[in-house]
Chains A and B, each alone.
Chain A
Amino acid sequence: MAYGGDEVNAIVLDMGTYSTRIGYAGEDLPKVNMPATYGSVLDPDTGLFKHYVGDEGVNIYRPKMRLSNPMREGMIYEWNAVEDVLNYAFHSQLRCNTADHPILFTEPPWNNKWNREHLAEILFEKYQIPATFVVNNAVCSAFSAGKGTALVVDVGQDISSVTPVVDGYALTKSIQRQPIGMSLLTNTAYMTLTTPTLERVDAIELHSHQLISSKKPMGYNAKPIYTLRQDRLLNADQSWRNQMSRRVVEDWIEVCSGALETTFTVEEADKKGTKFYEFPTGYQAIFKGSERLHPAEIFFNSSALNRIRSYGPPPIAENHPSQGRMIPLQEALPLQNLIAHALDLQDIDVRSSLMQNVVLVGGGSMLPGFQERLLFEVSNLTRNKNYKFHIPTVPWERRFSSFLGGSILASLGTFHQLWVSREEWNEFGPDILAQRCK
């Protein structure tokens, strides 16, 4: 009962491009954290696709299983597997009867009307929920930091965005977003690893462990000796193999990569020391500071950005386009410029309070050295000392910030008058969502 809380067993549903987070309101961590991708296998008897979701659904080898991500820019753009994802979460993981639980779901600020109404419709029709509410995930992130007014800097999987939030309302006109996120970092790291250097004459082979039948222990930088599982190699879908290779790269990023705290120079980066990594093939390598810290420069450095612009932008949702403008990769800015630009667009009366409440969230911000570098670049760029960053120190609060904010919101006693109930949904139709969830 403390802090105005009143639990009504609400469920918070937070779908992102990298992972889907589902859990009970009032808790600080989601009960279910599953990859957003799903696998589909054609059943030859029925001619239908069978969908596999969750960690054990996606990461396991299955013959001819195609992996695809239904999310783009944080929005659902492929609806085939959404129900499979929700079934898995509600029935296999939470094991709850959804008719007893109101569900609050999050959406990116640029979500379109059709998308949110469609999801609400599925929840009402298929899952018989008593009530729902949709809330902007930038607002949630601000709430998770305990702020009603904040400038939310979200470095996500596909997109890094800067969203001003004033009194719990996202100011949609001045949102800045660009397709520079962890997936682009993974691409960059992929290129770094597969490009031969003077020390590594061969490109690193990024086979995932599911494909390797045996390997021999080798010394440092020796050519790996391993055998692949030919049966799997033949039957594995290319999309699954690509995804698994990316997982290898993501793991390498987690272990080795990071951002340099100051302006990137090779000498300075080399001072950060080397790191050792063994790939699934048994290949062992030591990575110099300049090598492992360079990929993250795409967030801060326009020359590094120029280099990757040739890789081309990631695909963008087309069937139901997002609202507002996304800065294309060709015009992308370093993150500090993006923040400064977003602030310049704000009304002068809120600008200083936004500057005092910059909230950094998103999986990308968990890179070691990322926040220090951002603070360094921002203070260098603007010469203004009044920036105050709020960066949650607990790492998962940054990753699950939108879940956490939604969890706080849905457990407040004063919030329960805002739910869009089934009765209202039936009476007013989908338009009630836009009226209620502003």
Chain B
Amino acid sequence: MTSADVREIVSSLVPPGSTPVPRKAVAPSATRKPEGISRELYNLIGNAAPTLVAQVSRPKFKARPDLGRARVKWEFREFDNPARKDHLKLHHWQRATDTGNYRFARYNIDSAPISYIDEEYEAVYGTIPAEIDISLLASTSKEDTPWTKEDTDYLFRLVREYDQRFIVIIDRWAPPSGIDRPIEELKSRYYGVARSILERRLPEDDPNKAQTLAGFNFDKQQERKRRDYVVALFNREPEAIEEEEALYIEVKRLEQNERRFTKDREDLLRMLAGVESGLGTLKVGDEDTKKKKKNGETSADSPATPGGGSTKKSKAEAKYVPADDPTNCIVRYDPATVSVGSKSGVPSIFMRSSRIPVPKPSVATHVTQLLAELQISPNTLVMPTKVNVEKLESLLNTAGILIEMKRSVDRLDQEIRVLKARHKGENVEEVEMEHGEDKGKAVASRKRSMSIISNAANKRQRV
């Protein structure tokens, strides 16, 4: 069967009057394929292709290096090295355009160690006899033998030669006197002599004198202690290292627990008593705990006293709040109620009015409703004295708590209802008992909320 046959069959189906509409050829010029997009993809998505894609995926080629233009001529040339004191001429390949000093000569720098002349040394140490007293040598241990000038000269020569690398100096150490000394002894001698020489050499009015001299302070005992400690650290058995690590992890874990407990307690207290325990901002860290231990404070361990209206100042804030000054009539307010201040813990500048607590957004409507019932406008107090503002604050607080409490009571009621429905078919007595308990709880909470309301009422009266 050919295509002609098919056409014949199809045309026989079409009513003879209607001629087939000639299909319009798709004009490719009208919707040109944008560059950077493959033909297959374009056929699929058509004109909807985001222009961005086309731009991003356009291939970018590196610019061709221009080889023809910059031809550099190199010359094999003799050069002089200013870092050398002699006239050695070496040869190297160099750009013909490169002239001037040898590039690497500027790396020839000296660490500029201290040196002295004999007069200076004698002025500080006096004229020490050149020969060591043999009896003295025998009586004292070797490293305590006093230094001779020859040995000191030798030490300073080595220090200059090896750029103060004392590890190398101690390795090459073969002084005229033949006395082997430990490395901290060499350091101590070098810094000690250099310091006293400098002290004499620098004029009194040199502003940097103290600073320069401080650079030559060296405590031999401290160094010895440090070395002993490093040796002890180095010689730890693998088991000891493991144990240390385990202990460290354990401490970290305990600290984390502590933090969690504190947070839980905080939440509970806020929930039940509306009190900030003051432990929330407690930082449990290595240094902090150490410091606290030093100060004899056991804040992390002492239980917070719930129910007390007085809020403890957190440590970070307490540091920065200056004391009251009655003579100048300056009264500092407890900043704990509302979180003002910056993240760093330093209270920033604030408006007093901003310190009036704003109820939580979740309960705000209810609180305003409640206040409306009590006929109090939170924004405009008639007499915004200290006492009154405090009252208002506590009122708003308690109102918020009351609302939250009511919500949780409602939730519990709901739960009770659900449980009851579930236990319907079960033992009647059990259900009743449960019911009774729940009732008790509910009654208790209701009582508390009642008392809060009465409190609020009292306050209002006073206000």
Chain A interfacial residues counted at CB < 8 A: 36
Distance (whole angstroms) from the CB of A95 to the closest CB of chain B: 18
Which residues of B (75-105) have their CB < 8 Å from a CB of A? 81, 83-84, 86-93, 102-105
Residues of A close to B227: CB separation below 8 A: 348-349
Whether, in the assembled complex, A385 has its beta carbon less than 8 Å from a beta carbon of chain B, the answer is: yes
Contact A438 B171 (CB under 8 A): no
Decide if B248 is an interface residue (CB 8 Å cutoff). Answer: no
Which chain B residues border A347 with CB–CB below 8 Å?
Answer: 167, 170, 183
| Cα(A169)–Cα(B104), bound, Å | 22
A296 and B168 alpha carbons, distance in the complex (Å): 35
The reply to whether B91 and A100 form a contact with Cβ atoms under 8 Å apart is yes
Assess whether A197 is interfacial by the CB under 8 Å rule: no
> Closest A-chain residue to B107, C-beta based?
A414
Q: Which stretch in A1-9, A240-248, A251-259, A388-396 binds the other chain?
A: A1-9
Rounded to whole angstroms, the CA-CA distance of A383 and B161 in the bound complex is 38
Determine if A131 and B161 form an interchain contact, defined as CB atoms under 8 angstroms apart.
no
| A100 to B104 alpha-carbon distance, docked (Å) | 21
CB distance from B350 to the nearest CB of A (A): 53
Residues of B near A349 (CB, < 8 A) are 167, 227, 230
Instruction: Judge whether A8 and B92 touch: CB under 8 Å.
Output: yes
Interface pick from A203-211, A214-222, A334-342, A417-425: A417-425
Distance, CA A40 to CA B81, complexed state (A): 44
Q: Does B28 contact A (CB under 8 A)?
A: no
Q: Using an 8 Å CB-CB cutoff, how does the interface string of A24-52 with B read, 1 for contact, 0 for none?
A: 00000000000000000000000000000
The 0/1 profile, CB within 8 Å of B marked 1, for residues 341-373 of chain A is 000000111111000000000000000000000
User: Counting chain A CB atoms within 10 Å of each CB, which of B102, B168, B183, B234 scores highest?
Assistant: B168
Complex CA gap A348/B237 in Å reads 16
User: Cα distance A167–B162 when bound, in Å?
Assistant: 10
Q: A7 to B171, Cβ gap below 8 A?
A: no
Q: A265: CB under 8 A from chain B?
A: no
Q: How far is the CB of B26 from chain A (nearest CB, A)?
A: 58
**CB-contacts of A137-174 with B (<8 A):** 166-167, 169, 171-174
B238 at the interface (CB under 8 A from A): yes
Do the beta carbons of B167 and A9 come within 8 Å of each other? no
The CA of A166 and the CA of B89, in the complex, are separated in Å by: 31
- Please determine whether B92 and A7 come into contact, CB atoms closer than 8 angstroms: yes
B342 contact set on A, CB distance < 8 A: none
Nearest CB of chain B from residue A410's CB, rounded to whole Å: 11
Please pick, from A7, A385, A423, the residue contacting B238 in the complex, using a CB distance under 8 A: A385
> Is B231 on the interface with A (CB-CB < 8 A)?
yes
Partner of A130, one of B84, B90, B168, B172: B90
In whole Å, how far is B88's beta carbon from the nearest beta carbon of chain A? 4
Residues on B with C-beta less than 8 A from A100 are: 91
Residue of B nearest to A425 (CB): B86
Check A319 for interface membership: any CB of B closer than 8 A.
no
Q: Compute how far the CA of A416 lies from the CA of B104 in the bound complex, rounded to whole angstroms.
A: 9
How many whole Å from B123's CB to the nearest CB in chain A? 30
- Are A348 and B168 interface neighbours, CB within 8 A? no
Tell me, yes or no, whether A196 is within 8 Å of chain B by CB. no
| A 211-240 to B, binary, CB cutoff 8 A, 1 in contact else 0 | 000000000000000000000000000000
Indicate if A384 sits at the interface (CB-CB under 8 A).
yes
B225: shortest Cβ distance to chain A, in Å?
13
A414 B91 Cβ-Cβ under 8 A: no
CB <8 Å contact, B103 and A413: yes
Is the CB–CB distance between A384 and B167 below 8 Å? no
Do A4 and B104 touch (CB < 8 A)? yes
Question: Is B90 in contact with A131, judged by CB distance below 8 angstroms?
Answer: yes
CA distance A130 to B238 in the complex (A): 56
A383 touches B107 (CB 8 A): no
Residues A6 and B168 in contact, CB atoms below 8 Å apart = no
Shortest Cβ distance from A386 into B: residue: B234
Interface size on B, residues (CB 8 A): 32
Return B256 CB to nearest CB of chain A, in Å: 28
Is the beta-carbon distance between B234 and A169 smaller than 8 angstroms?
no
- Most central of B90, B104, B162, B238 by chain A CB within 10 Å: B90
Contact A6 B167 (CB under 8 A): no
User: Is the pair A383, B238 in contact by a Cβ cutoff of 8 Å?
Assistant: yes
B86 and A417 within 8 A (CB): no
| A348/B230 in contact, CB under 8 A | yes
Contacts of B111 in A (CB 8 A): none
Q: Which residues of B contact A6 (CB under 8 A)?
A: 92, 103-104
Which of the residues B84, B167, B168, B231 comes within 8 Å of A417, measured between beta carbons? B84
Is A289 an interface residue, CB under 8 A from the partner? no
Option from A166, A414, A423 in Cβ contact (under 8 Å) with B168: A166
Q: Smallest Cβ distance from A4 to chain B, in angstroms?
A: 7
Q: Write the chain A residue with the least CB distance to B183.
A: A347
Q: Which residues from 219 to 268 on chain B have a C-beta closer than 8 Å to any C-beta of chain A?
A: 227, 230-231, 234, 237-238
How far is B107's CA from A171's CA once the two chains are assembled, in angstroms? 25
User: Is A282 an interface residue, CB under 8 A from the partner?
Assistant: no
- Cβ contact of B81, chosen from A351, A417, A422, A423, cutoff 8 A: A417
Q: A169-B168, A348-B234, A421-B86 are in contact. Are A413 and B104 (CB under 8 A)?
A: yes
Residue of B nearest to A351 (CB): B234
CB A365 to nearest CB in B, in angstroms, measures 26
Contacts of A102 in B (CB 8 A): 90
CB-defined contacts of B238 to chain A, threshold 8 Å: 383-385
What is the distance, in angstroms, from B365's C-beta to the closest C-beta of chain A?
A: 64
Expressed in whole angstroms, the minimum distance between the Cβ of B126 and any Cβ of chain A is: 32
Residue B108 interfacial (CB < 8 Å): yes
User: Pick the contact of A423 from B86, B90, B92, B105 — CB < 8 Å?
Assistant: B86
**Does B81 lie within 8 Å of A416, measured CB to CB?**
yes
Which chain A residue lies CB-closest to B83?
A: A417
Q: Are B88 and A423 in contact (CB under 8 A)?
A: yes
> Are B93 and A7 closer than 8 Å at their CB atoms?
yes
Q: What CA separation (Å) do A173 and B167 show in the bound complex?
A: 11
Chain B residues positioned under 8 Å from A417 (CB to CB): 81, 83-84, 104-105, 108
- Separation in Å of the A343 CB from the closest CB of chain B? 10
Q: Which listed residue (B81, B162, B183, B237) contacts A438, Cβ 8 A?
A: B162
* CB nearest to A352 among chain B residues: B234
Q: Which residues of B contact A427 (CB under 8 A)?
A: 86
Residues on A with beta carbons closer than 8 Å to the beta carbon of B91? 8-9, 100
Report chain A residues within 8 Å CB of B81: 416-417
- Taking CB atoms, residues of chain A closer than 8 Å to B170 are 347
**Quick one: closest B residue to A167, CB to CB?**
B165
* Chain A positions near chain B (C-beta within 8 angstroms): 4, 6-9, 100, 102, 130-131, 166-167, 169, 171-174, 347-352, 383-385, 413-414, 416-417, 419, 421-424, 427, 438
22 contacts between A and B (CB under 8 A): A6-B103, A8-B92, A100-B91, A130-B88, A131-B88, A131-B90, A167-B167, A167-B168, A172-B171, A347-B170, A348-B227, A348-B231, A413-B102, A413-B103, A414-B108, A416-B104, A417-B81, A417-B83, A419-B88, A419-B90, A424-B86, A427-B86
Which 5 residue pairs across A and B have the least CB separation, nearest first? A413-B104, A421-B88, A417-B83, A8-B90, A171-B171
Chain B residues with a Cβ under 8 A of chain A: 81, 83-84, 86-93, 102-105, 107-108, 161-162, 165, 167-168, 170-172, 183, 227, 230-231, 234, 237-238
